[in-house]
């Protein structure tokens, strides 16, 4: 997993729980003197270990932690790469452009070979069906990222994870229903 994701988690933990909590997490789950650098790759197990311990510390289910992390991560990445998000004129174009725009940019910057595969289809106005596949099975994090994007574009969003790799499906199917928040 690329360091930029670890840096997002670092930022979230320090913001919500403080530096001591992050240091304790690092101590337990990462080698000594670990400093995460965005462009560098680190073992996936480190991220899962850190996320697991965040869940324990916050007394929340892992699913909630991943979702919350995804939502936070969207804001974190937006702050770092505003120009990428500027390419989209709204929530729908961003969701539809995850593979063709965002992942292309990610590949440019980080040479990440294991990006998730995402296919989206607009079923009707206010309804997108997203297909998600990743060997890391971080679909809940993807859900969080959708929540983050919806918040950015002022959308009320409801997600229905109708098929899930964690339940034996070949890929996840997430129904994304959304409506603009009234001003």
Choice from 24, 38, 52, 134 touching another protein (CB under 8 A): 38
Choice from 15, 27, 39, 56 touching another protein (CB under 8 A): 39
Q: Is 27 in the site for another protein (CB under 8 A)?
A: no
| Of 34-42, 91-99, 146-154, 158-166: span binding another protein (CB under 8 A) | 34-42
Choice from 15, 27, 34, 37 touching another protein (CB under 8 A): 37
**How many other C-beta atoms can be found within 10 angstroms of the C-beta atom of residue 65?**
24
Q: Tell me the closest approach of the beta carbon of residue 73 to another protein, in angstroms.
A: 15
# residues near another protein by CB under 8 A = 9
Q: What is the sign, positive or negative, of the torsion defined by CA atoms of 18, 152, 110, 116?
A: positive
Choice from 86, 89, 108, 168 touching another protein (CB under 8 A): 108
- Judged by the rule CB under 8 A, the positions of this chain that interact with another protein are 19, 35, 37-39, 80-81, 108-109
């Amino acid at each position: 997993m690329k360091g930029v994701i670890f840096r997002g988690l670092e930022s979230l933990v320090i913001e919500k729980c403080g530096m001591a909590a992050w240091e304790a997490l690092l101590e337990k789950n990462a080698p000594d003197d670990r400093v995460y650098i965005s462009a560098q790759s680190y073992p996936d197990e480190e991220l899962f270990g850190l996320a697991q311990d965040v869940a324990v510390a916050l007394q929340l289910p892992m699913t909630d932690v991943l979702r919350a992390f995804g939502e936070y991560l969207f804001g974190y990445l937006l702050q770092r790469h505003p120009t990428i998000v500027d390419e989209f004129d709204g929530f729908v174009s961003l969701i539809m452009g995850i593979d063709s725009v965002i992942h292309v940019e990610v590949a440019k910057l980080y040479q990440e070979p294991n990006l998730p595969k995402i296919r989206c289809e607009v079923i009707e106005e206010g309804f997108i069906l997203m297909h998600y596949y990743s060997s890391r099975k971080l679909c809940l994090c993807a859900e969080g990222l959708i929540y983050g994007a919806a918040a950015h574009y002022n959308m009320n969003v409801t997600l229905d994870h109708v098929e899930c790799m964690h339940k034996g499906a070949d890929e996840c199917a997430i129904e994304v229903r959304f409506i603009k928040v009234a001003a």
